[in-house]
A and B are shown apart, each in its own frame.
Chain A
Amino acid sequence: MTIRINKVAKGTGLKAIVEEMSGVSLDACYQCRKCSAGCPVAGPAKSAPSEIIRRLHLGAGDELLENGLVWMCLSCETCYGRCPMQINFAAVIDALRSLALARGSKVPEGNMPLFNRMFLANVRVFGRSYDLSMIAGYKLGSGSLMSDTGKFPTMLKKGKMAILPPSGADKKAVRRIFEKAVPGKGKKQ
Chain B
Amino acid sequence: MKYAYYPGCSSHSTARDMHESAIAVAHKLGIELVEIEGWSCCGATAAHQTDRVLAASLPAANMLLAKQMGLDTVVTCAACYNRMKVTNHEVSSSTDMRARVADVVGQPYDGSVAVRHIVEVLLEDVGLEKLRKSLTHSLGGLKVAAYYGCLLVRPHDVTHFDDAENPTILDRLVDAMGGQSIDWPGKVDCCGGGLNLTRTDMVVKLSGSIIDMAVESGAGCITVACPMCQASLDLRQKDMQKQTGRRYEMPIVYITQLLGLCLGIPPRELGLNRLMVSPAGVLQYLGSKA
List 28 interface pairs A-B (beta carbons < 8 Å), by A numbering. A40-B192, A74-B193, A74-B195, A75-B45, A77-B155, A78-B190, A81-B153, A94-B52, A97-B50, A115-B197, A116-B50, A123-B43, A123-B46, A131-B14, A138-B197, A138-B198, A147-B200, A160-B14, A169-B38, A169-B40, A169-B41, A174-B40, A176-B104, A176-B106, A177-B57, A181-B53, A181-B54, A182-B50
Binding site for B on A (CB under 8 A): 21, 23, 40-41, 44, 72, 74-78, 80-81, 86, 88, 90, 94-95, 97-98, 101, 109-112, 115-117, 119-120, 123, 127-129, 131, 135, 138, 142, 147-148, 151, 154-155, 158-162, 166, 168-171, 173-174, 176-178, 180-182
Chain B interface residue count, Cβ-Cβ cutoff 8 angstroms: 58
Question: Do B38 and A81 have beta carbons less than 8 Å apart?
Answer: no
In the complex, the answer to whether A127 meets B40 with C-beta atoms within 8 Å is yes
The answer, among A21, A97, A162, for a CB contact under 8 Å with B12, is: A162
Residue among B46, B106, B200 with most chain A CB within 10 A: B46
Judging by beta carbons under 8 Å apart, are A177 and B58 in contact? Answer: yes
Given A78-B154, A78-B188, 11 more contacts at CB 8 Å? A40-B206, A80-B154, A147-B200, A161-B14, A162-B13, A168-B38, A173-B61, A173-B106, A177-B61, A180-B103, A182-B54
Where chain A touches its partner, the secondary structure class is helix
B274 interface contact, C-beta 8 A: yes
Nearest B residue to A179, CB-CB: B104
Number of A-B contacts (CB under 8 A): 166
Chain B residues within 8 Å of A178, by CB? 54
Q: Chain B contacts of A72 at CB under 8 A?
A: 195, 199, 202
Q: Which residue of chain B has the shortest Cβ distance to A139 in the bound complex?
A: B197
Given contacts A97-B50, A98-B51, A127-B41, contact A115 B155 (CB under 8 A): no
